């Protein structure tokens, strides 16, 4: 598919705002490996090839294993995730599919068992931000495959 609009050239102000969120998240209370798992999982649900390519590569560059990344779509049946990661992945799925159940109390209670209030806010911002990026990349047909993690540029 051909790209529709180069939003990086047309939407400079909006892009700066989104990148400001990313800067905040990079310094947030949620550890980078967990942020990358959440980004990959939300991108899987949304079917965003560009973001899957990017965050899979970022996760691998950060030391994530192939096994854990391959198992991510079936994380509930896979033994390689901690309880904290499972709570974050469930929260990410729920917020990505928010129209279905509106983040039920029992899931929120589980998230509260593994995360502080600040971490819940940061995790929620990470999920909502990747969902926004997914929608931007899908809408404008961003082409996957060319991204390289910062350490490899």
* pLDDT confidence of residue 7: 73
Tokens 């980004």 — which residue?
39
* pLDDT confidence of residue 9: 75
Tokens 């961003």 — which residue?
142
Using an 8 Å Cβ cutoff, are 68 and 80 in contact? yes
Q: What is the pLDDT of residues 110-150, one digit of tens each?
A: 999 999 999 999 999 999 999 999 999 999 998 899 899 98
Low-confidence ranges of the chain (pLDDT < 70): 152-153
* pLDDT confidence of residue 152: 55
Q: What is the pTM of this model?
A: 0.93
Supply 109's token pair.
Answer: 């209670």
* pLDDT confidence of residue 29: 98
Listed in sequence order, the DSSP H helices in the chain are: 7-10, 12-26, 32-46, 49-61, 66-70, 83-96, 98-101, 105-114, 117-139
* pLDDT confidence of residue 13: 83
Please provide the CATH number assigned to the domain covering 32-141.
1.20.1290.10
Taking the C-alpha atoms of residue 24 and residue 39, their distance in angstroms, rounded to an integer, is 15
Q: Directed axis angle between helix 117-139 and helix 12-26, to 10°?
A: 150
């Amino acid at each position: 598919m051909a790209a529709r609009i180069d939003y990086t050239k047309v939407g400079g102000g909006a892009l700066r705002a989104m990148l400001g969120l990313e800067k905040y998240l990079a310094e947030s209370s949620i550890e980078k490996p967990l942020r990358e798992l959440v980004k990959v999982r939300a991108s899987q649900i949304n079917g965003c090839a560009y973001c899957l390519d990017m965050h899979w590569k970022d996760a691998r560059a950060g030391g994530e294993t192939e096994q854990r990344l391959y198992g991510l779509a079936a994380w509930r049946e896979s033994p390689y995730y901690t309880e904290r990661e499972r709570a974050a992945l469930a929260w990410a799925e729920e917020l990505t599919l928010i129209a279905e159940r509106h983040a039920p109390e029992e899931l929120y209670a589980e998230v509260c068992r593994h995360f502080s209030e600040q971490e819940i806010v940061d995790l929620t911002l990470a999920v909502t931000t990747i969902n926004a990026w997914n929608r931007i990349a899908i809408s404008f047909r961003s082409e996957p495959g060319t991204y390289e993690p910062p350490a490899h540029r």
